Amino acid sequence: MEDNEILDLYFSRAEIAIERTRQKYGMRLFFTAQNILQNKEDAEECVSDTLLRAWEHIPPERPLMFGAFLVKITRNLALNRVKASSAEKRGGGTVDILLSELEDCIPEKNIGTPEQAHEAQLIHECINDCLEELDQTARIAFVMRYFHGESIEEICTRFSFSESKTKSMLFRTRKKLKEHLEKEGVVI
């Protein structure tokens, strides 16, 4: 079923929209949550929560890229769940590793005031501009690692690269991102 057809089901408030969404995107959402949470049950719950959020937000929202809309919800829910659990017990989980890799090239986002929200939007646009300048392999690897939370091993498998080549590519990409943001006047 095409995304527009599924979205039409949401707009007509047909509950079958949730099942069609699960059929089309369920595995992608599960793997995104699983990569972040490292727990099957939590990942399944995250997918269910994503479908509920989609039901709550559609309508009035009609996402242009439905799959990306869903993955973003899943990712945010999973990150919030990790943040909540790490507040209870400090550990060295996957998310901590990913964030530590990015801390030197992406500033912390505080979005409490309109000025901070505007600055965060500008940073978001700068990051997208930088990613568009990258070659396709580096861009896909970066998104796999830092958006979907996939492991170095999964990226190596996808591109048939060695671990050292993958790590070097990600390091160079982070370095380019930092340089791009600094060139644009973003304080890191």
**For 40-63, what is each residue's pLDDT tens digit?**
999 999 999 999 999 999 988 899
How much is the pLDDT for 59? 86
Q: What percent of the chain has pLDDT over 90?
A: 48
Which residue in 110, 92, 109 sits closest to 101, CA to CA? 92
Examine the pLDDT at 33 and tell me if it is beyond 90: yes
Asked if the bond preceding 59 is cis, omega within 30° of 0, the reply is: yes
How much is the pLDDT for 84? 73
Mean pLDDT, the chain, integer? 84
The larger pLDDT score, comparing residue 184 to residue 108, is at 184
How much is the pLDDT for 81? 86
Q: Give the tens place of pLDDT for each residue, 84-131.
A: 776 545 445 565 566 666 666 666 555 556 776 677 777 878 888 888
Kindly list the structural domains of the chain, giving each domain's residue range(s) and its CATH number in brackets, ordered by start. 3-88 (1.10.1740), 99-183 (1.10.10.10)
Which residue in 178, 114, 136, 154 sits closest to 31, CA to CA? 154
